[in-house]
Amino acid sequence: MAPICISSAKPTHAPPRPPPQRTDSWSHWLRRNFFQNAGSAVMTALALWALFVTVPRLVRWAFVNAVWYTQDAADCHAAAGACWAIVPEKYRVMLFGTFPYEEHWRGVLVIAIVLGLSALSTIRRLWSYWLCVAWLVATAAVFTLLLGGVFGLRPIGTHEWGGLPLTLVMFVGTVVGGIPAGILLALGRRSKMPAISALCVGFIEIVRGLPLVTVLFMASLMFPLFMPEGVTIDKFLRAQIAMTLFFAAYAAEVVRGGLQAIPRGQYEAADTVGLNYWQKMTRIILPQVMRIVLPSMMNEIIRAFKNTTFVGIIGLFDVLRATSTAIQDPVWVRYSIEAYLFIFILYFVLCFAMSKYSERVERDLAVGR
């Protein structure tokens, strides 16, 4: 009786496998990313065609035929390309709006202080109480520069503020005032005291239920109607308060999301150690919350920056409104697209920087998680 073969192994050698494909060659990379199958090849061809049609035209418009600098709009009219000359011609009004012309250097300093200190604040090594002190000093400096009236600086009313300094002050004010207010609102909403909780819920829901434009209109148009005759509160301040409250309502909901994500055990542990409410919140809960909510909070912050453009509607000259006013000049009105592109780049750079920064902080804070 022959032995039963139960092995499935083949007695012969397997044929040699082909050598591994080179993955570092150009052709391979192209094939894998752009021509993997018929559909992908068609899409690639279409995209190439679209680029071929638009890019040369764009380059010709934006660079080759563009006029970079001239003081005479007729030069632009004669050229076929973009008229970037509108930016050097109008940048002072675009960036500073109605801010008095001779005092623009003060606006420049304000921009430098706010942007410089913001950049410094992104360096984690510098995070200390000194940074808070620096911000307080900077705030004082910014308002001294903008308002004037001391150290021989000419006084400037808030109605004359405009352009990038206005946008930045409005933005920083909104965020710096709005985040603490938002945290308080979120805590209030979860409070066990019915009056406080009802107030916070009511405020958040009302504000969230309104468009920002309406809130600003209320602040700038309705509010003065309720005031006694002759009493007016500064328009900038009204807009600033409205923006801050609006931001606070959204920030509150972001923080509430974070509060709910903290496990119950953390609260109970803090209670067990005998911490009171504020100790529990500031030392145990909120530090964890802020880490969790950072990405969505940053989202709100970037949105708040872009929302500053709404103040143009109530007659404040933020960067965008100052630009759209500057380009009404009949001589240059034809080249508004170039001016808007410049502002687009300005906003993009600032927002992109914020978003990159938030990414880095997220990465840093996630260490050990």
Partner 1 sequence: MRFIALAAALAGVTAFGLAAVDARADTTLEIVKKRDKVICGANGGRPGFSGLDAKGEWQGIDAETCRAVAAAALGDSKKTQFVKVTSQTRFTALQTSEVDMLTANVTWTLSRDSSLGLDFAAPIFYDGQGLMVRKDLGVKSAKDLDGATVCVEPGSTSEKFVADIFRANGLKYTPVVIEDRKELNNAFFSGRCDVHVQSTSGLSSGRATAASNPDDYVILPEIYGKDPMGPVVRQGDAQWRDIVNWSVYAMMAAEEFGVTSKNVDEMKKSKDADIARLLGTSGQLGKSLGLDNEWAYRIIKQVGNYGEVFERTLGKGSPLKLERGINSQWKNGGLIYAPPFN
The verdict on 159 binding partner 1 (CB under 8 A) reads yes
Nearer to partner 1, 60 or 104 (CB): 104
Q: Which of residues 223-262 bind partner 1 (CB under 8 A)?
A: 224-225, 227-232, 235
> In this chain, which of 61, 79, 100, 153 binds partner 1, going by CB under 8 A?
100
Q: Which of residues 47-76 bind partner 1 (CB under 8 A)?
A: none
> In this chain, which of 167, 174, 220, 240 binds partner 1, going by CB under 8 A?
220
Stretch that binds partner 1, among 4-12, 85-93, 164-172, 348-356 (CB under 8 A): 85-93
The verdict on 338 binding partner 1 (CB under 8 A) reads no
Least distance (Å) from partner 1 to the CB of residue 344?
Answer: 17
Stretch that binds partner 1, among 34-42, 49-57, 155-163, 267-275 (CB under 8 A): 155-163
The verdict on 309 binding partner 1 (CB under 8 A) reads no
The verdict on 101 binding partner 1 (CB under 8 A) reads yes
Q: Which of residues 176-195 bind partner 1 (CB under 8 A)?
A: none
Least distance (Å) from partner 1 to the CB of residue 364?
Answer: 42
C-alpha to C-alpha distances, 291 to 148, 189, 278, 286, 297, nearest whole angstrom = 39, 20, 18, 8, 10
Least distance (Å) from partner 1 to the CB of residue 272?
Answer: 46
Structure tokens at 14: 């397997």
Q: Torsion over CA of 318, 322, 323 and 327, rounded to 10 degrees?
A: 160
Nearer to partner 1, 176 or 227 (CB): 227
Rounded CA gap, 65 and 67, in Å?
Answer: 7
Rounded CA gap, 89 and 160, in Å?
Answer: 21
Q: Which of residues 255-294 bind partner 1 (CB under 8 A)?
A: none
Size of the site for partner 1 (CB under 8 A): 44
Which residues of this protein are in contact with partner 1, per CB under 8 A?
77, 89-90, 92-93, 96-101, 157, 159, 162, 217, 220-221, 224-225, 227-232, 235, 313-317, 321-322, 324-331, 333-334, 336
